[in-house]
A and B are shown apart, each in its own frame.
Chain A
Amino acid sequence: MSESDAVEARVFDTHALLADPPAAEEGPALGSDPFAEPSGADPLAARLDVLERAWRGARVRPGRPLAAVRSEPARGDASPAARPQPPTRRRAPVLPTLGEIELPEPQGLLDRLVGEDVRKVLAAFFHLVEGEGPYDRFGFSPEVTRRAFPIFHALYRGWFRVDSEGHANLPETGGAVLVSNHAGLLPFDAAMTVIDVALHSDPPRLARAIVDRWAGTLPFVNVFYARVGQVIGTRENFADLLDEGQLVLVYPEGVDGIRKTIAQRYRLQAFRVGFIEQALRSRVPIVPMAVIGSDDQAPVLFDVKPLARLLGLPIAPITPTFPWLGPLGLLPYPVRYRIVYGEPLRFHERFGPEGADDARLVRYLANQVRRAVQLLIDRNR
């Protein structure tokens, strides 16, 4: 067999592996802890090892150094020049820790409505904006956030009564992609996640949710989203946020998540894969997380798709309260939210930035993340 034939055979093997993964590597059953290591190696890690070996075998061409496709230098080849260079990074704004912030006396009703801890978080967010302007490069306004935060904080405490765990899995610094399930007609799951992350990280971190482009066409909504730190989901925006070392919150189900009917609740829809590509290119971990409760906040009985198409909307829902109660019918039910953060998945330590160009690898990794999120949901429902 010639060398090129051998490479071709390895490509074939990889495809077979991806198309039909062995049953022994399926991982824990639904409902068990996907991140525990009860016996032996982590099944996800073992599965990735197999995939990585196959991928490397398939992708490395004769004469091409292994380090060119791996992020870490291969054994015996520690030449720094052979490693792919990370993209040029902007310096992330350095936020003070909560202990470093000295608050002035409360001024006005807004300051009195929230506690000192929240005021410190909001004060820290002002450090996200560089330069003389009151906005950052994505339109985020700490002042607008300061005004909006008490309202959503009240919903966080009083309406959704959010309970959360796994905050140790949120990286203290540097870029990361938070991947969550998405449900509910209005994106309160995103709002609650942003508040939960802000309240449970020190220095406080602002999760920048990637929102659908459709939201950018909505008058007033697009401005509000941008001012409170949300960003329209273009490739350049995403890459730039990660390269700046920001925490990016994505919903890979997209609008399919909010279209879920009551029969599909807590069942994840197909994941888009762009977040995997960006995470590999920007060399950042992925933190799977689950929001329990959002699927119950506005159960969709039917989605009248022809009407949605006619009106140019992503969904035309029928719920127990909408459209019967008018716009009030869209308000979420007072369900209890539970937010759980899983252990970070460090795909970037196994695969180089070139892995982002391998469609099968990216799809496989996206499915792994989807599985991790689904397991978190199932364990915590």
Chain B
Amino acid sequence: MRRVLVTHADEPIGRRAVKTLYHDARVGLIFAVGDGPPPRSFDKFLSAREPRVVYARVDLARHRPVTDLFHSSDFRAAEIDTVVHVPRHGAAASEQAPLVAGIAERTAETRLLLQHCLEAPGVESLVAVGSAFVYKLAPGNVNRVDEGSELDLDPEVAPEIRSWIDCDMLLHGEVHNDRLRVVLLRVPTVVASGGYVYLHPTLSGRSGRRVRAAGFDPICALISDKDVARAIQSAVHARGPGIYNVSGSEAVPLSLLARWTGRSTLPLPGPLLRLAAAGARFAGQELETALDGPHLRYGFTLDTRRAERELGFRPLDRIGLARAGDGALRLETASA
């Protein structure tokens, strides 16, 4: 029986992970942690006679609250053996995230969590969700990348992607740790029914107009939020550590993904795009969306064979267009 702590459980992917693990008979208890109040969908979990879900509000980017969490009596009583780290990705991520001690909030959270997982006596596994936008993209509409592909260590990379790379490298450094089993899942753009999109440097966050590079329409690999939760579930029960690409079956161009998710895009020639990016940096908006960078020109799809082989993960959801109740065509995900 696994006893699992899930971070950012109040955000969409975290909620989905909690629900999936809740229905897993091999999971004995879920310690859900989030910034805000518990989601309403957790009410039935929390109000059960013998609740298998516990919820706590913790600011994971601050040292003191995280230390308090790991030393709390609730945490000790829960006897957590696995930590699932789902980085911030929901509506809150679209706001200007503050720098914590000079580093991005996402990086600060990951560093603190990793440090406490290494020190906590009962924690054996850390399963973290990372982004596949960390890969260095070669010129081309689409590149196949596997786990051994080069990361984008260009110092000029957009800060949004930089924070993912920092998290990735922090976790990568502990993959061979004997004390803690670290599993890193690199996921591409995550979509959810109704046209929600997460973990995409450009499209995530509030709906509205986005800019993209004229003459380029990179392919975006997609995965549904439910498949991400299934991948997390597989990783929780897997034995070995490692880094795994997980992705769905569908991949669509950026312009089409924007249309499917109710966002419009404005193609700008390269020089204008660079000007817009510089303007956004000047205005202090650099962390909101990555306005320029290789991800706007070059796309990727993921080689997921390692995850299939070692985690036994295969995507079940199909992603496509469906007519919603208001008659509009929206992105939908459904099990095949």
Contacts and interface: CB of A to CB of B under 8 A. Distances in A.
Interface of A: 88, 90, 130-139, 213-220, 222-223, 225-227, 231-232, 234, 236-237, 240
A137 B300 CA distance: 9
A134 B252 contact: yes
A137 B320 CA distance: 15
Contact of A216 (B140, B249, B256, B321): B140
A237 B251 contact: no
Contacts of B250: 131-133
B144 interface: yes
Contacts of B264: none
A205 B319 CA distance: 27
A282 to B, nearest CB: 14
Contact of B138 (A132, A138, A213, A218): A213
Nearest to A133: B250
Contact of A132 (B143, B149, B219, B320): B320
Contact of B320 (A130, A133, A232): A133
Contacts of B251: 133, 135-137, 139
Nearest to A138: B142
A234 B138 contact: yes
A333 to B, nearest CB: 29
Q: Which of B141, B142, B214, B303 has the most CB of A within 10 A?
A: B141
A139 B138 contact: no
A237 B144 contact: yes
A133 B214 CA distance: 23
B253 A135 contact: yes
B141 A222 contact: yes
B196 interface: no
11 contacts: A133-B222, A133-B252, A138-B142, A216-B138, A222-B216, A223-B141, A223-B216, A232-B139, A234-B144, A236-B143, A236-B144
A215 to B, nearest CB: 8
Contacts, number: 104
B146 interface: yes
B262 interface: no
Categorize the interface residue count of chain B: 35 or more
Interface of B: 138-146, 149, 213-217, 219, 221-222, 248-253, 256, 270, 297-299, 301, 303, 305, 309, 318-321
B44 to A, nearest CB: 32
* Best-buried of A218, A223, A227 by chain B (most CB within 10 Å): A223
Contact of A232 (B138, B215, B249, B318): B138
B217 A223 contact: yes
Contacts of A232: 138-143
A154 B251 CA distance: 31
Given A135-B252, A219-B213, A222-B140, 8 more contacts: A88-B305, A216-B138, A218-B215, A219-B215, A227-B141, A232-B141, A236-B145, A237-B140
A236 B149 contact: yes
A311 B303 CA distance: 35
Contacts of B144: 137-138, 234, 236-237, 240
Nearest to B305: A88
A216 B252 contact: no
B320 A236 contact: no
A223 B252 CA distance: 12
B64 to A, nearest CB: 44
A222 B305 contact: no
A91 to B, nearest CB: 12
A219 B142 contact: no
Contacts of B142: 137-139, 226, 231-232
Contact of A236 (B219, B297, B303): B303
A138 to B, nearest CB: 5
Contact of A139 (B141, B213, B320): B141
A134 B217 CA distance: 14
A187 to B, nearest CB: 15
